[in-house]
């Protein structure tokens, strides 16, 4: 309790020392339209497993894939009864193609088991084409995989740590096709705010206009700011974008209280305000206890049996309710936290009180429960 109190005091002091909102770079709150990653996916086989691969009876697609692979390599005329390997697993391979990735660039891939393989440890991924949403092949993956988890089992017990059926290959794919996108051909580019907000969009617009001219940018909506590139010169587009993304603005956001009921975590934004309310915490505790007794017959009793006699005790304890009044018509975050801490509530009780204040219409913030 003392350690928790010290940590809470340290966090409170740190929060009071910082301003409510800090200036951040535009690159930290927005992205350039078109400059993004692309998802890639492929189907392949992992070989070299130590008996932990797919069982061909339960995974017929693995058997068909093995037959097709061997036929491409010149091994044909295989009958079903000859393929009984347990060292191969069918997998799905996924990757993210970075923006402006050029041919020959390496990218990381994630390998996930598709059948009933128990582990991919020690396996090697065979050449797997990775396609995009348009069906075109953009990369090819191959190589030994690295599994973070492990699985061990015996006759009567087993141990599984992590997920041994998901693996990763660092730089396991090579880019074979590029996504066509030319910055120098653009006359304008749009900034997409990660958290849409009209105030933030206008502040970004003003910061760009102050740096590049009064007609250089305009806010289209709460999430989009358009920047004109006509006057900058086609060859200077990357330099202009570098200047824009390093401009600093003060982002704005709505007041919000986020609650994680499972872990008891509560995050209260700096702009949260409540009206004057009175808060009390009290409750009724009912305890029901079962203490069964065993009744044994006398030693000389003929036909006597041992019986269990139930015995139940019920107790009721009612705690005294204490009211705490949050003064003022515009209670700030610090005063709200101080008042809740003064009552001495647990996380669950604090969550209930915040929900009750919101239901009463006194909490001026979005209450989000995750």
210: domain CATH number is 3.90.1150.10
Q: Give the end of a domain, one of 175, 203, 234.
A: 175
Residues 216, 282: one domain? no
- 111/169 Cα distance (integer angstroms): 8
- Mean pLDDT calculated for residue range 261-280: 76
The answer as to whether 53 is a domain residue is yes
Residues 42, 170: one domain? yes
Backbone angles phi, psi at 326, to 5 degrees: -90, 105
Summarised one tens digit per residue, pLDDT across range 39-58 is: 999 999 999 998 888 887 77
The answer as to whether 23 is a domain residue is no
Q: Give the end of a domain, one of 175, 201, 223.
A: 175
pLDDT of residue 7: 37
The answer as to whether 12 is a domain residue is no
pLDDT of residue 26: 94
Higher pLDDT, 100 or 14: 100
Domains in the chain: how many in total?
Answer: 3
pLDDT of residue 72: 84
Residues 123, 199: one domain? no
| Average pLDDT score over the chain | 79
Give the dihedral of Cα atoms 262, 267, 268, 269; nearest 10 deg: -140
Residues 220, 260: one domain? no
Expressed as residue numbers, the domain containing 315 is 256-298+305-369
The answer as to whether 3 is a domain residue is no
The answer as to whether 54 is a domain residue is yes
Residues 147, 204: one domain? no
Summarised one tens digit per residue, pLDDT across range 184-214 is: 778 889 999 999 999 999 999 999 999 888 8
Residues 109, 201: one domain? no
The answer as to whether 141 is a domain residue is yes
Q: Highest-confidence range of 2-11, 81-90, 104-113, 237-246, by mean pLDDT? A: 104-113
Residues 145, 205: one domain? no
Q: Give the end of a domain, one of 175, 198, 231.
A: 175
**324 has pLDDT over 50:** yes
pLDDT of residue 18: 41
Residues 148, 238: one domain? no
Name the burial class of residue 128, with classes exposed (0-12), middle (13-18) and buried (19+) by CB atoms within 10 angstroms of its CB.
buried
Residues 69, 143: one domain? yes
pLDDT of residue 340: 67
**131 has pLDDT over 70:** yes
The answer as to whether 137 is a domain residue is yes
Is the dihedral angle over the CA atoms 347, 369, 268, 8 positive or is it negative? positive
């Amino acid at each position: 309790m003392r350690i928790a109190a010290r940590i809470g005091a340290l966090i409170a002091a740190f929060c009071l020392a910082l301003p409510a909102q800090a200036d951040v770079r535009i690159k930290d709150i927005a992205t350039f339209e078109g400059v993004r990653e692309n998802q890639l996916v492929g189907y392949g086989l992992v070989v070299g497993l130590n008996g932990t691969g797919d069982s061909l009876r339960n995974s017929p697609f693995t058997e068909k894939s093995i037959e097709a692979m061997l036929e491409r390599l010149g091994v044909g005329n295989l009958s079903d009864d000859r393929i009984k390997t347990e060292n191969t697993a069918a997998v799905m391979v996924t990757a993210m193609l970075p923006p402006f990735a050029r041919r020959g660039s390496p990218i990381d891939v994630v390998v996930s088991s598709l059948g009933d393989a128990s582990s991919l440890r020690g396996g090697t991924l065979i050449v797997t084409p990775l396609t995009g949403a348009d069906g075109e092949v953009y990369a090819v993956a191959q190589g030994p995989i690295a599994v973070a988890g492990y699985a061990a089992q015996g006759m009567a017990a087993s141990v599984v740590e992590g997920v041994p059926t998901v693996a990763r290959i660092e730089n396991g794919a090579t880019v074979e096709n590029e996504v066509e996108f030319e910055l120098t051909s653009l006359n304008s580019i749009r900034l997409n705010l990660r958290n849409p907000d009209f105030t933030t969009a206008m502040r970004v617009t003003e910061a760009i206009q102050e740096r590049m001219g009064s007609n250089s940018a305009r806010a289209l909506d709460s999430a989009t700011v358009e920047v004109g590139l006509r006057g900058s010169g086609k060859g200077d587009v990357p330099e202009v974008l570098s200047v824009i993304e390093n401009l600093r603005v003060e982002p704005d956001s709505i007041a919000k209280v986020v609650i994680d009921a499972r872990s008891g975590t509560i995050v209260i934004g700096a702009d949260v305000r409540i009206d004057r309310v009175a808060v009390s915490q009290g409750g009724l505790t009912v305890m029901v206890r079962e203490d069964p007794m065993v009744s044994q017959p006398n030693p000389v009793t003929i036909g006597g049996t041992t019986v269990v006699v139930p015995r139940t005790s019920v107790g009721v304890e009612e705690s005294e309710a204490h009211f705490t009044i949050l003064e003022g018509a515009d209670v700030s975050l610090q005063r709200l936290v101080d008042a809740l801490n003064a009552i001495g509530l647990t996380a669950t009780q604090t969550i209930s009180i915040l929900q009750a204040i919101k239901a009463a219409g006194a909490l001026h913030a979005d209450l989000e429960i995750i």
